[in-house]
Amino acid sequence: MNKVLVLGAGQLARMMDLAGTPLNLNTKAFDVRIDEVVHPLVNEYKFGDLQSGIEQADVITSEFEHISHDVLEQCEASGKLLPTSTAIKIGGDRRLEKSLLESCNVANAKHKVIANHEDFTNAIEQLQLPIIFKSALEGYDGKGQWRLKDISQAESIWTDMEEFVAGAKTSVPQGIIAEQMVPFDREVSIVGARNSKGEIAVYPITENHHTNGVLSVSLAMPVPTKLQEQAFEVFSKLAEKLDYVGVLAIEFFQVGDTLLVNEIAPRVHNSGHWTQQGCDTCQFENHLRAICGLPLGNTELIRPTAMINILGQDSVPEAVLAMPGVAIHWYNKEKRNGRKMGHINVCGNNEQELADKLSQLAEILDPLAFEDIKEFATMLQARVN
Ligand code: ATP
Ligand code: MG
């Protein structure tokens, strides 16, 4: 079991390959945009079509959930796909996701499924404003979302949504979920792995900060036991229900001491990138271990760590690399506005040291490209002092 085929040829497949190589795992990636199997680090190296990729692989997995159902079925037919196509499809459709949460009795935001204008009007009546409308399919990085704060905006939002639904290029009919806005204190996520023996290893929950709807910073520090237990319970319920194998991520809204699930991602996750420097075994290695039937690696936090996304930039000042406890991971992507180009992991021996390093970074990084780092560093300084 050492030949892995990843559906998707982006940064997640790249980082899986980088993490699996020391274990002699051989990873290839299926680029859905060109319909070809490629090398995950050097996309110019091509290996042929999906069917031959499937035949040559021992195990097939996925780096994203918006994969055509035909491709998923083709992979599942080989008996090699982990996690299952059911789990991947649930992560790609908010309607299925919500029914999974309901069936597991897991707390989440009050919501309604919308298929037509009547549902839309009913949802506005039954949920309290503000309401957030999310496309059931194709949503990522805050795209395909509408926020209704005042009833006067309702019809123009409907017109916009109707157009979006009509223009959907999905193999499954598009739809909308209306969700009550949650007045959360913070957003956190749990990333963990489950293997085919049913063993589970989760990382400490991570605090996530968004800028313009996109994750900008994740923070991993020691977590209150009760909160970690709550997240673990949700993780095990969902992972067991899906008979899940691989890494699974769950995003939460924290309100007081309670966690409400926002969404799940059946894959390695941006909010788990810090594990590359903050843990013995990173999420990418643990995902491969889980799907290849290997023992799961240690997921304990070994040092407080923060991850900063590099968006739309293809360089940062060299002084960043010169800082001890700082690592840069580039994705070898062409520069595009707002695109996830890489990330910076920052570690401290303790929380104060991490806060100090973030303050130092905030002085070095371009404030236009890293809008909120200064504010984030100041917030963390206040918290650890
Ligand atoms: P990503 O790909 O970054 O995870 P996404 O497009 O899948 O994003 P969500 O995670 O559902 O979408 O929403 C993006 C952000 O919008 C959330 O991280 C949160 O900040 C805000 N948001 C979403 N739903 C709600 C809600 N019900 N109440 C309050 N804020 C919300
Ligand atoms: Mg999200």
Residue 140 has pLDDT above 80, yes or no: no
Ligand 1 atom with the shortest distance to the CA of 182:
28
Give the tens place of pLDDT for each residue, 58-73. Answer: 999 999 999 999 999 9
Fold of 110-180: Dna Ligase; domain 1 (3.30.1490)
Fold of 186-384: D-amino Acid Aminotransferase; Chain A, domain 1 (3.30.470)
Please say whether the beta carbons of 151 and 123 come within 8 A.
Answer: no
Give the tens place of pLDDT for each residue, 142-178. Answer: 678 999 999 999 999 999 988 888 877 777 788 899 9
- 341-378 burial by CB neighbour count: b if 16+ within 10 A, else e? bbbbbbbbeebebbbbbbbbbbebbeeeebebbbebbe
Residue 357 has pLDDT above 90, yes or no: yes
What's the chain's average pLDDT? 96
Domain ranges of the chain: 3-81, 110-180, 186-384
Give the tens place of pLDDT for each residue, 207-233. Answer: 999 998 899 999 999 999 999 999 999
Matching CATH number, 3-81, of 3.40.50.20, 3.40.190.10, 3.40.718.10, 3.40.50.720: 3.40.50.20
Q: What are phi and psi of 351, to 5 degrees?
A: -65, -35
Q: Is 210 in the pocket of ligand 1 (CB under 6 A)?
A: yes
Cβ-proximal residues to 143 (8 Å cutoff; 6+ apart), any chain: 213
- Asked, colleague to colleague, whether 110-180 and 186-384 share their fold, the answer is no
Which of these, 31, 7, 3, 40, lies nearest to 267 by C-alpha position? 7
Q: Is 265 in the pocket of ligand 1 (CB under 6 A)?
A: no
Q: Is 130 in the pocket of ligand 1 (CB under 6 A)?
A: no
CA of 154 to the centre of ligand 1 (A): 20
% of residues, the chain, pLDDT over 90: 92
**Residue to probe by mutation, ligand 1, list 95, 191, 262, most atoms within 8 Å of CB:** 262
Please say whether the beta carbons of 168 and 174 come within 8 A.
Answer: yes
Q: How far is CA 3 from CA 6, 32, 54, in A?
A: 10, 19, 10
pLDDT of res. 174: 85
DSSP of 196-207 = TT--EEEPPPEE
Around ion ligand 2, which residues have CB less than 5 A away?
A: 251
pLDDT of res. 165: 81
Ligand approaching nearest to the C-alpha of 91: 1
Q: Is 142 in the pocket of ligand 1 (CB under 6 A)?
A: yes
